[in-house]
Amino acid sequence: MLDTLGQQMPFVKMQGSGNDFVVIDNRDRRVPVEAMADWAKAVCRRAFGIGADGIFFLENPPADRPGVDFIWHFYNADGSRAEMCGNGSRCAARLAYLLGIAPARHVIGTDAGPVRAEVLDSGRVKVQLTPAKDARLDIALPAADKTLRAHFVNTGVPHTVIFVDDVAKVDLPDLGRTVRYHETFRPKGTNANFAQVVDKQTMLLRTYERGVEAETYACGTGASAAVYLSHKLGLTGPEVNVTTSGGEQLTISVDGDNVFLAGAATVTFTGDLLLESVGLKL
């Protein structure tokens, strides 16, 4: 019956700690790179498309990118391309393993650089992010009626972290947006993270994500940035369990500028996208 509904594209829906993604196996290059931003906007739009925080396309590595098992093209829900996504990379690793594209230990080619992944028996996936860079501590951020004490690091994508006494009390739509668009971080902008250190091994985190333009249930590179910076500030030890706003747990460990992120990566459903229904065609 659905054959009458025109062109279709198989997809996989996944989530890593509640950060949700549509995955397209694009090894046949059916979707050209130039069309991917439009695909992201149409497919990720909740209620009208499949709905997701982001979409990524898995492809075989080109000859000029040796040493990686596959590459991806990652896009946020608003159609912006992102250099990296921690939870997305864990989902990509799990799916690549399930599809036989890569062995349990492999390397993903991201725009930020190669990311090492290990798919664990439990269905959890551990990734080593690209080395933390551009760290800046104690940035004074003038906001409406106060000055925020912020810290910054790039863990594949840019992250600002503000430590607070109670994350539940943060007005994230307002404060997250203020930080995300603060002139200090122009032109690329930043993701905005609010972290509550519970003890040396435990943290609560909420993230306002660039490209989703809202709070997401989790952000892997954000959790990694928060732990990297809290460790640098002496607030936590080198390994921390981070509870994200969706209630899931990510485990982050830091060794110098090397940051490791581990957590569950789950296939939630598979399906066929009816391209015409979301305004797309091949």
Ligand X SMILES: N[C@@H](CCC[C@H](N)C(=O)O)C(=O)O
Which of 19, 26, 193, 244 is close enough to bind ligand X by CB under 6 A?
19
Segment near ligand X (CB under 6 A), from 43-51, 219-227, 251-259, 270-278? 219-227
- State yes or no: residue 221 binds ligand X (CB under 6 A): yes
d(CA 271, CA 237): 43
Segment near ligand X (CB under 6 A), from 92-100, 196-204, 206-214, 232-240? 206-214
- State yes or no: residue 18 binds ligand X (CB under 6 A): no
Segment near ligand X (CB under 6 A), from 55-63, 99-107, 171-179, 217-225? 217-225
91 is catalytic: no
- Residue 177 labeled ligand binder: no
Residue 267 forms beta bridges with which residues?
A: 14
Is 210 within 8 Å of 75 (Cβ atoms)?
no
Residue 71 Ramachandran class (φ > 0 left, ψ -120 to 50 alpha, else beta) = beta
Q: How far is the CB of 13 from ligand X (least distance, A)?
A: 15
d(CA 95, CA 51): 19
d(CA 168, CA 32): 42
Q: Take residue 15 and report the two structure tokens written for it.
A: 């989530």
Q: Tokens 């725009």 label which residue?
A: 111
85 is catalytic: yes
- Residue 220 labeled ligand binder: yes
Pairing type for strands 124-128 and 113-119 reads antiparallel
d(CA 96, CA 89): 10
Q: Report the chain's terminal Cα–Cα distance, integer Å.
A: 21
- 183 Cβ contact partners less than 8 Å away, ≥ 6 residues apart: none
- State yes or no: residue 211 binds ligand X (CB under 6 A): yes
Residue number, 226 or 278, with CB nearest to ligand X = 226
- Residue 156 labeled ligand binder: no
Residue number, 259 or 275, with CB nearest to ligand X = 259
Q: How far is the CB of 202 from ligand X (least distance, A)?
A: 20
Is 91 within 8 Å of 22 (Cβ atoms)?
no
- State yes or no: residue 176 binds ligand X (CB under 6 A): no
- State yes or no: residue 220 binds ligand X (CB under 6 A): yes
d(CA 253, CA 241): 9
Return the number of other C-beta atoms located less than 10 Å from residue 133's C-beta. Answer: 11
- Residue 210 labeled ligand binder: yes
Q: How far is the CB of 281 from ligand X (least distance, A)?
A: 27
User: Among 219, 223, 242, 275, which one carries the catalytic annotation?
Assistant: 219
Give catalytic residue positions: 85, 219
Binding-site residues sit at 19, 76, 86-87, 191, 209-210, 220-221
The binding site for ligand X (CB under 6 A) comprises 19, 76, 82, 85-88, 157, 191, 209-212, 219-221
Binding-site residues for substrate sit at 19, 76, 86-87, 191, 209-210, 220-221
